[in-house]
Amino acid sequence: MTVSGTDPATVETVELRIPRKAEWVAVARLAVAAIASRMHFTIEEIEDVKLAVAEACTNAIQSADASNQIHIVCEADHAHLRVTVANANIEGAPAGAPPAPVEDDVRVDGLGVFLIRSLMDDVEYEVHPERGTHLVMIKRLAS
Amino acid sequence: MTVSGTDPATVETVELRIPRKAEWVAVARLAVAAIASRMHFTIEEIEDVKLAVAEACTNAIQSADASNQIHIVCEADHAHLRVTVANANIEGAPAGAPPAPVEDDVRVDGLGVFLIRSLMDDVEYEVHPERGTHLVMIKRLAS
Amino acid sequence: MDIKVNVRETDGDCNIVELAGEIDVYTSPKVKDALGELIDRGVYNLVIDLEKVRYIDSTGLGVLIGGLKRVREHGGTVNLVCTNPQIKKIFDITGLVKIFGIYDSEDAAMKASV
Amino acid sequence: MDIKVNVRETDGDCNIVELAGEIDVYTSPKVKDALGELIDRGVYNLVIDLEKVRYIDSTGLGVLIGGLKRVREHGGTVNLVCTNPQIKKIFDITGLVKIFGIYDSEDAAMKASV
Ligand SMILES: Nc1ncnc2c1ncn2[C@@H]1O[C@H](COP(=O)(O)OP(=O)(O)O)[C@@H](O)[C@H]1O
Ligand SMILES: Nc1ncnc2c1ncn2[C@@H]1O[C@H](COP(=O)(O)OP(=O)(O)O)[C@@H](O)[C@H]1O
C-alpha cells in the first residue's frame, strides 16, 4: 500500500486490532488519542481524531459484514496522522455472526461519515472487492 | 498458540504493534489501561497492568535486538487479562539499527522484571530461538 | 468509558436527566432506555444535562434526536445543558444546535422548558 | 505523556525540583539531565516533589537512585514529596522507601534536608 499523504521515509506505524464489537471502540479511541497526543496535536485536534476514528469503527460494526475484527492502522510523520480503518478477520477464526440489525428508531444516516469528513482534513473510501471497505483519513499538524 | 490461563471459548483479543522506540511506550500503556478499564479492573489494578506492560516494552526496547516493532497481544476473558509482549518486525521492512546502549549510569538491573512479577499474578518468559523472547503476564479479575 | 444516568424530578413538570461519562456506540443504548422509560411514563419535557459528559458520538446524537422526535409528538421539549466546547462543536457542525435548545445551566434550560 | 521540570531555590541550602507529568523510558532522560545539572552546580540537597507526577516506571526510579548516589558522594540528601498511593506503592514494592526519605509535603521534606 502506498502511504499517500505521509512521508514514507519518516513514517512510524502503530497498528491496532480490536474485536468488531461496540464495547471495544473505546479502546481504539483512547489508543488513537494517545498517538495524536504523542504527535503534539492540540487538545481540540485530538478530540477530532478520536471522534472520527470512533465513527469509522461504529460504521465498521454496523455494516453488513461477517468479519470479526476491526483493523486500525495509524501512520504518523512530522506533518500528518493517517488512519485507516477496515474490517478484518483473525486468520483461521470462524467469521462472527453478522451484527445485530441496527435498532435505533432514529437512524441519522450519514451523520457518522459527515462528522468524519468535517473533523478530518482528508477522507477517502478505498473499496476493495476482496478485502472490504477501507476508510482512510488524514489529519494535518499545523506547522 | 494455546491460550493458557484464559478461556478460549470466550476470549477476546486486542492486538497492538508500536515502533520499538521509547516515545511510543505511552501509547501501549494507555491502550492496555483502556482494555483493563473495559474489563472493570479496579483503578489500582489498571495502574498495575499499565506499569507491567510498560516495563515489558522498556525491556524489549533495551534488549540487544534489531527488531523494529513491539507486538502486544491482549487476551481478555471474564476472569483474566493475558498480555504477551514480544519484539517483532514489520514484514519486508529493513531491521532498525540496534538500540543505543543503555546510558543510565545507575542501571538497576532486574527492577523492571521485579516490578512485573510483583504487579501481575502470573509471569512467564517464552524463549523462542527464532522469534525472540515473549513475555507473557496474567492479571486475574477478582470474582 | 461508561455512562451514568441520573433522573431527577423538579417542581415544574419537567425532569432532569443528568448524564455522566461517555456516550458512544456501546453506552448509548443505556441512555436510550432511560429516555424511553421517562417518555413511556408520560414525561414529555426533558432537560438533559450534558455537563459531565466528556464525549458523545453520532450514536449518542441519534438517541437525543430520537428522544426529541418522541416528545414532540406530545408537544414536549428537549433542552440540553452543555458548556463543553468540544461537545458544543459537535452540535454546531451537525446543525443540531438549530433543533435543540442548548443552555449554560440547568436553571436556564428549565426556564426554557416551561 | 510528557514531563515538566521546575527547579526552585529555597531559603535553606536545598533546591526543590518539582516534576509534573509522567516519568517513563521516554521522559526520564529529561529528569536525569535536570538533576545532573543541579548536582554539577554543587547543589547536593534535593527535595524532589512528585505530587504532580501521575506515573513513574523503573527508568524513573533509576534516575532518582542515580541522583541519590551522586549527592551522597558529597554528603547530600534526596528527599521526596509523594502522597499518591499508586506511586508510594511502587516505592514500597521495590524497597526504595528505605533509601529515600518520603514525605507528605515540601515543608516536611525540606525540614528533613537540613
Ligand atoms: N468501514 C466500513 N466497512 C463497511 N461498511 C462501511 C464502513 N464504513 C461505512 N460503511 C457503510 O456505510 C454506511 C453509511 O455510513 P454512515 O454514513 O456513517 O451512516 P451512520 O452515520 O448512520 O452510521 C454504513 O451503514 C455502512 O454500511
Ligand atoms: N521482551 C524482551 N525481549 C528481549 N529481551 C528482554 C525482554 N524482556 C527482558 N529482556 C532482557 O532481560 C534483561 C533484564 O531485564 P530487567 O530485569 O527488566 O532489567 P531492567 O529492569 O534493568 O530493565 C533486559 O536487559 C533484556 O536484555
Three-class HEC string of chain B: CCCCCCCCCCCEEEEEEEECCHHHHHHHHHHHHHHHHHCCCCHHHHHHHHHHHHHHHHHHHHCCCCCCEEEEEEEECCCEEEEEEEEECCCCCCCCCCCCCCCCCCCCCCHHHHHHHHHCCEEEEEEECCCEEEEEEEEECCC
> Which pLDDT belongs to residue B126?
81
Mean pLDDT score, D13-17? 91
Mean pLDDT for B65-72 is 89
Neighbours of C7 (CB within 10 A): 14
H helices of chain A, in order, are: 25-38, 43-62, 111-119
Percent of all residues in chain D with a pLDDT value above 90, rounded to a whole number: 90
Q: For A34-51, what is the mean pLDDT?
A: 97
Q: Which carries the bigger pLDDT value, residue C114 or residue D43?
A: D43
Q: Using a CB–CB cutoff of 8 Å, tell me whether A124 touches chain B.
A: no
Query: Nearest chain A Cα to B76, which residue?
Result: A19
Residue nearest atom 16 of ligand 2, based on CA coordinates: B110
Question: Span D22-51, mean pLDDT?
Answer: 97
Q: What is the pLDDT of residue D76?
A: 95
The fraction of chain C above a pLDDT of 70, given in percent, is 100
Scanning A53-92 for CB atoms below 8 A from C yields: 54-55, 57-58, 61
Note the pLDDT tens digit of each residue in B82-108: 999 998 766 544 444 444 444 444 445
Instruction: Tell me if C24 and A107 make a contact (CB, 8 A cut-off).
Output: no
Query: Considering only CB atoms, which chain D residues are within 8 Å of B61?
Result: 25
pLDDT of residue B132 exceeding 80: no
pLDDT tier at B4 (50, 70, 90 boundaries)? low
> In Å, how far is C62's CA from the nearest CA of chain A?
6
Chain-centroid distance, C-alpha B27: 12
**Mean pLDDT, rounded, for A10-30:** 97
- pLDDT per residue as tens digits for the range D97-112: 999 999 999 999 999 8
Q: What's the CA-to-centroid distance between A107 and ligand 1, angstroms?
A: 12
Nearest-atom index, ligand 2, CA of D62: 22
pLDDT band at A12 (very low <50, low <70, confident <90, very high): very high
pLDDT at A62: 87
Residue A1 has pLDDT above 70, yes or no: no
Kindly compute the dihedral angle of the four CA atoms of residues D83, D88, D92, D94, in this order, to the nearest 10 degrees. Answer: -140
pLDDT of residue B54: 97
Q: In this complex, which of A14, A21, A24 lies closest to B27 when CB atoms are compared?
A: A14
Contact D80, D103 (CB under 8 A): yes
Chain A residues with CB inside 8 Å of D1's CB?
34, 37-38
| Residue of A17, A62, A116 with the most ligand 1 atoms within 8 Å of its CB, for mutation | A62
Q: What angle do CA C62, C63, C64 make, to 5 degrees?
A: 90
Residue A82 DSSP SS3? strand
Residues C3-14 pLDDT 10s: 999 999 988 788
* pLDDT band per the 50, 70, 90 thresholds, residue A110: confident
Place of cell 551522597: D72
Residue of A23, A27, A49, A51 to mutate for C, most C C-beta atoms under 10 A: A51
Is residue A24's pLDDT more than 90? yes
- pLDDT confidence of residue B1: 41
Residue B30 to residue A26, Cβ atoms within 8 A: no
Task: Provide the pLDDT confidence category of residue B143 given band limits of 50, 70 and 90.
Answer: confident
Instruction: Select from C28, C58, C61, C90 the residue to mutate for testing ligand 1; criterion: most ligand atoms less than 8 Å from CB.
Output: C58
